[in-house]
Amino acid sequence: MRVILQTVSDLEHHFGTREVEIRFEGRCVSDLLAYLKERYDFTLATQERGMLFVNGRGCVDFSLSLNDGDHVAIVPVLAAG
Amino acid sequence: MKNDLIRKLEALAESYKAPSGDEYRGISLKVVEAVSAEAGASRRDVEIAALEAGIIPLRYQRNIGSIGIEGQLKLRKARVAVIGAGGLGGTLIELLSRMGIGELLVIDSDSFSEDNLNRQILCTEQDIGRSKVEAARRRIVSINSAVDMDARQVVVSGDNVDALIKGCDLVIDALDTIPVRLLVQEAARRLRIPLIHGAIAGFLGEVMTIFPGDRGLEALFGGGGNAPEKGIEVQVGTPTVTPMAIAALQAMEAIKVLLGMMGPIRHRLLYLDLEQDVLSGVRIANADTK
C-alpha cells in the first residue's frame, strides 16, 4: 500500500518532513499506524494529541480501508482561544 | 432624515489629499460627533450617510485604497458576533473596531484573571476580576465610538446560541473548548451564517472559514459526541504572540467574507507555526455537505 502522509509542526519534525510517501504492508489505517510506530516510533496516543484525516475527512475508526494514493494527514488538536 | 444628514455633511466636508496625491472629500471625528448630536442620529448612521455620499470619515481613509468606499460602507452596515473575548477575541474586537465594522456582538461569561495578562489585549492589571465583555465595551468606545456594541455576559449553550447569533452577518469563533465550537457551528449552519474558526496552542494556530453547508469542524471531530474538550494547549500553553497573529488572520477572513472577496480559507484548515515560520494547509473534504 502506498499513501501520502502530511504532517505539521512538531509532528513534521517527528517525521522529518511535511509530506512523505509511505509504503507499508496492510490495507487499513490501523496497519498504517502500526507501520508508523515501527518505522518512526510514532503513536497517535490520544485524540488530544493528534487528529487523523483520510482524504480530508476526520478518521476515528482505524479499521477504515485505505487505497493506493490516499492522502493521510496527522495534525495536532488546538483548542485555546 | 438621511437627506438632511447628507446636506449637513456636504456642507461640512473638506478637501483632503490622500498619500497617493489624490484629493478626496472627508469629515473629521469632530464633524461626525457634531452632526450626530445636532441631528439626533447615531455616529454610525452619520458615517454611513457620509460614505453613501462619497464622503470619507478620516478614520477610514487608510482603508479605502484596499477596500474602496463601497467596501467600507458594507463593513459599516455589518453586524458581527465575536464569541469569546479572551486572547483571540480581544484582538479581534480591537481590529474589527478599527476596521469599522458597524455592530459588534461580544459574548463571554468570564472575568479576567492574572494568567490572562500575557496575551489578552483587553486585560490590564486594573481589570483583574472584571468582566471581559465590559472591558470590550470600554475598548470599543475608546477606539471607535461609531461602532454599536452589544455585550452579553452569558455562557453559550445549546439553549441560547441560536437566539444570540440570529441576525448577525458573520460569527467569529474565539472560544476555548471544542464542544462549544461545534454547537456554534451547528447554529450558524441552521441560521445560514458564515463562521470564521480560529484556535491556538503554543506557537501554533489554525484558521478556517466555514460557510453554511460546509462540514467544517465536523470533518475534524465528527458530530460532537467524541470531540475532545481541549487540545495540546494544556501542555504547551498560550504564549503572547500567537493569539495576535491568528486573530489577524481571522479578521482578514471576516473582511473577505463580508466584502465577497476572493480566496477565503475554505475547505482547508490553515496552520500557522510561528516558531518554525511555516504556513501549511490541510484539505477538508467538502463533498458531503449538509
pLDDT at residue B284, as a whole number:
81
Task: Please report the ipTM that was assigned to this predicted complex.
Answer: 0.89
* pLDDT over 90 (residue A9): no
Q: B161 and B274 share a domain?
A: yes
pLDDT at residue B289, as a whole number:
40
* pLDDT over 60 (residue B95): yes
* pLDDT over 50 (residue A40): yes
Please report which confidence band the pLDDT of residue B1 belongs to, taking 50, 70 and 90 as the band edges: confident
Q: Bridge partners of B107?
A: B83, B152
pLDDT at residue A8, as a whole number:
76
Point out the least confidently predicted range of A3-17, B44-58, B228-242, B258-272: A3-17
pLDDT at residue A7, as a whole number:
83
> Considering B49, B69, B89, which residue would you say is the last residue of a domain?
B69
pLDDT at residue B290, as a whole number:
36
Please judge whether A77 and B178 are an interchain contact, meaning their C-beta atoms are less than 8 angstroms apart. Answer: yes
Model confidence, pTM: 0.92
Tell me how close the Cα of A26 comes to any Cα of chain B, in angstroms: 24
Q: B187 and B215 share a domain?
A: yes
Q: B231 and B197 share a domain?
A: yes
> Considering B69, B101, B128, which residue would you say is the last residue of a domain?
B69
State how far the Cα of B123 lies from the Cα of B108, in Å rounded to an integer.
Answer: 14
* pLDDT over 80 (residue A60): no
- Of the candidates A48, A58, A81, which has its C-beta nearest B220's C-beta? A58
Domain annotation covers residue B25? yes
- The answer to whether the beta carbons of residues A57 and A32 sit under 8 Å apart is no
Domain annotation covers residue B288? no
State how far the Cα of A78 lies from the Cα of B212, in Å rounded to an integer.
Answer: 22
Point out the least confidently predicted range of A8-22, B28-42, B86-100, B260-274: A8-22
Please report which confidence band the pLDDT of residue B91 belongs to, taking 50, 70 and 90 as the band edges: very high
- How much is the average pLDDT of B210-226? 84
- The answer to whether the beta carbons of residues B210 and B197 sit under 8 Å apart is yes
* pLDDT over 90 (residue B23): yes
Contacts of B199 in chain A (CB under 8 A): 78-81
Q: B187 and B107 share a domain?
A: yes
- How much is the average pLDDT of B261-282? 87
Domain annotation covers residue B64? yes
* Residue whose entry in the numeric block shows the C-alpha cell 457634531: B34
pLDDT at residue B227, as a whole number:
81
* pLDDT over 80 (residue B9): yes
* Residue whose entry in the numeric block shows the C-alpha cell 438621511: B2
- Dihedral angle, C-alpha B85, B97, B162, A57, nearest 10 °: -80
Domain annotation covers residue B167? yes
Tell me how close the Cα of A11 comes to any Cα of chain B, in angstroms: 12
pLDDT at residue B3, as a whole number:
86
Q: A16 or B237, which is more confident?
A: B237
State how far the Cα of B145 lies from the Cα of B156, in Å rounded to an integer.
Answer: 27
Q: B106 and B224 share a domain?
A: yes
Contacts of A48 in chain B (CB under 8 A): 228, 230-232, 234
- How much is the average pLDDT of B115-133? 97
Please report which confidence band the pLDDT of residue A48 belongs to, taking 50, 70 and 90 as the band edges: very low
- Of the candidates A6, A56, A60, which has its C-beta nearest B285's C-beta? A56
- How much is the average pLDDT of B70-79? 98
CATH number at residue B235: 3.40.50.720
> Considering B69, B102, B122, which residue would you say is the last residue of a domain?
B69
Q: Which residue of A has its CA nearest to B284?
A: A56
Q: B122 and B196 share a domain?
A: yes
Mean of the per-residue pLDDT values for chain B? Answer: 94
Tell me how close the Cα of A64 comes to any Cα of chain B, in angstroms: 15
Please judge whether A81 and B87 are an interchain contact, meaning their C-beta atoms are less than 8 angstroms apart. Answer: yes
Please judge whether B173 and A81 are an interchain contact, meaning their C-beta atoms are less than 8 angstroms apart. Answer: yes
Q: B95 and B173 share a domain?
A: yes
Tell me how close the Cα of B216 comes to any Cα of chain A, in angstroms: 10
Q: B108 and B190 share a domain?
A: yes
Q: B223 and B121 share a domain?
A: yes
Point out the least confidently predicted range of A45-59, B47-61, B178-192: A45-59
- How much is the average pLDDT of B221-241? 85
Domain coverage including residue B125: 78-283
Please judge whether B199 and A48 are an interchain contact, meaning their C-beta atoms are less than 8 angstroms apart. Answer: no
Contacts of A6 in chain B (CB under 8 A): 280, 282
Domain annotation covers residue B247? yes
Q: B17 and B83 share a domain?
A: no
Q: Which residue of A has its CA nearest to B277?
A: A9
- Of the candidates A8, A46, A79, which has its C-beta nearest B233's C-beta? A79
Q: What whole-number percentage of chain B has pLDDT above 70?
A: 97
Residues in Cβ contact with A2 at an 8 Å cutoff, skipping those fewer than 6 apart: A21, A22, A23, A68, A69
Domain count, chain B: 2
- Of the candidates B174, B205, B284, which has its C-beta nearest A78's C-beta? B205
Residues in Cβ contact with B3 at an 8 Å cutoff, skipping those fewer than 6 apart: none
- How much is the average pLDDT of B183-200? 98
Please judge whether A81 and B174 are an interchain contact, meaning their C-beta atoms are less than 8 angstroms apart. Answer: yes
Q: B230 and B102 share a domain?
A: yes
Task: List the one residue out of B195, B73, B165, B288 whose CA is nearest residue A58.
Answer: B288
Neighbouring C-alpha atoms within 13 Å toward the C-beta of B178: 25
Q: B63 and B171 share a domain?
A: no
Q: B93 or B220, which is more confident?
A: B93
Residues in Cβ contact with B68 at an 8 Å cutoff, skipping those fewer than 6 apart: none
